[in-house]
Amino acid sequence: MNLYPLKFNPILKERLWGGTKLKELFGKPSTSEITGESWELSTVSGDVSVVSNGDFAGTSLQELIDTYPTELLGKSVVERFGTDFPILIKFIDAKQDLSIQLHPNDALAKERHNSFGKTEMWYIMDADPGAELIVGFNKDVSKQEYENSLENDTLLDLLNYEKVREGDTFFINTGKIHAIGAGVLLAEIQQTSDVTYRVFDFNRKDKEGNLRELHTELAFDAIDYEKKDDFKVSYPKERNAVNAMVDCPYFKTNFLDLDKDIVFDIKHRDTFTIFMCVAGTATIGNAFGKVTIQKGETTLLPANSDQIEIRTKGTKLLEVTI
């Protein structure tokens, strides 16, 4: 099947903490002042991406997977996940601090929610001066100490804060308490899951005047209470090369900083390939077509692509595979 590089209509999400950067910087078709997320590639129920380019325009990603599973996903991916698309791709604009939260592992998520767990990574695309993330605890914490901090409203004293700037990358494994801070714009790559345990929300109220739901009890058994410095990703930034960033059981991500055209063979890959453009512009093609993406856009290349050609005068890309 002649599956060309696919683009999809963004699925925009209003969030209490969202802003306007997705529209202002990326041109997303938002009319809201609180757009927090642009879901670029999704098969989450109720939020399935729809193709925006070429002969398959108007077709959902799930329809394509059901019709061309091996050609689109790759044999090894189908053997592992069936026709479930295993990755969820987003851009996130935090005008305000996100809630402090964590995600359950695969076993807990399956048992409680019939879902995958949620391992994720963040690439910082833009950050206001002084912007930061919360990632993990600042010391080993006992379950009792954590519970006491919730009761005494002192949880923030136990958390680790990380100042961030463009290009910083973080790997957030399941169980790690975390939050995106105000003024951060990032690309997120994660398992296909929308399961989040919110444990503190700064006592904010939604537009109806209600406090948002917390998941205190569910979180107790899902949290990793140890202090671990395993979240900041150190990666090479060699120009016009494929630089490895993250290699975990759920996804592999590389960083490409290109100022000239590049062609590479992927016959051996047996997986789909995603490109997220985090700077500049690039035209990306296989034997069956090509597509141009700019900063804040994403494309999906099918597994039956033998070769990828990228034409650019300057771009930075995140390349994601399984």
CATH dotted code for 11-220: 2.60.120.10
Would you say 178 is a known binding-site residue? yes
pLDDT at 207: 79
Contact (CB, 8 A) for 275 and 301: yes
| Segment holding 265, helix H or strand E | strand 262-265
Residue 182 is which amino acid?
A: A
Tell me the two tokens of residue 104.
């359950």
| Segment holding 172, helix H or strand E | strand 169-172
- pLDDT class of 230 with cuts at 50, 70, 90: very high
Mean pLDDT of all residues in 237-260? 97
Contact (CB, 8 A) for 287 and 5: no
- pLDDT class of 89 with cuts at 50, 70, 90: very high
**What percentage of the chain has pLDDT greater than the value 70?**
100
Mean pLDDT of all residues in 40-68? 97
Mean pLDDT of all residues in 93-114? 95
288: burial class by Cβ within 10 Å (0-12, 13-18, 19+)?
middle
Would you say 215 is a known binding-site residue? no
Contact (CB, 8 A) for 50 and 65: no
pTM value is 0.95
Task: Name the residue among 62, 63, 21 with its Cα closest to residue 38.
Answer: 21
Would you say 113 is a known binding-site residue? no
- Which CA distances in Å does 10 have to 6, 41, 281? 13, 8, 18
| Cα–Cα distance for residue pair 230/171, rounded to 1 Å | 8
Per annotation, catalytic residue among 198, 204, 212, 239: 198
Boundaries of every domain in the chain: 11-220, 242-321
pLDDT at 209: 87
| Cα–Cα distance for residue pair 209/207, rounded to 1 Å | 5
**Cα dihedral 127/131/134/137 (nearest 10):** 130
Same fold for the domain at 11-220 and the one at 242-321? yes
CATH superfamily of 242-321: Jelly Rolls (2.60.120.10)
pLDDT at 272: 98
Active site residue 198: yes
**Structure confidence by residue, pLDDT tens digits, 108-142:** 999 999 988 899 999 999 999 999 999 999 999 99
Contact (CB, 8 A) for 129 and 195: no
**Structure confidence by residue, pLDDT tens digits, 68-87:** 999 999 999 999 999 999 99
| Cα–Cα distance for residue pair 170/315, rounded to 1 Å | 21
On average, the pLDDT of the chain sits at 96
Residue recorded with tokens 């696919």:
6
Q: Is the pLDDT of residue 277 over 80?
A: yes
Tell me the two tokens of residue 307.
């070769």
152: burial class by Cβ within 10 Å (0-12, 13-18, 19+)?
exposed
Q: Is the pLDDT of residue 208 over 90?
A: no
pLDDT at 1: 73
pLDDT at 17: 95
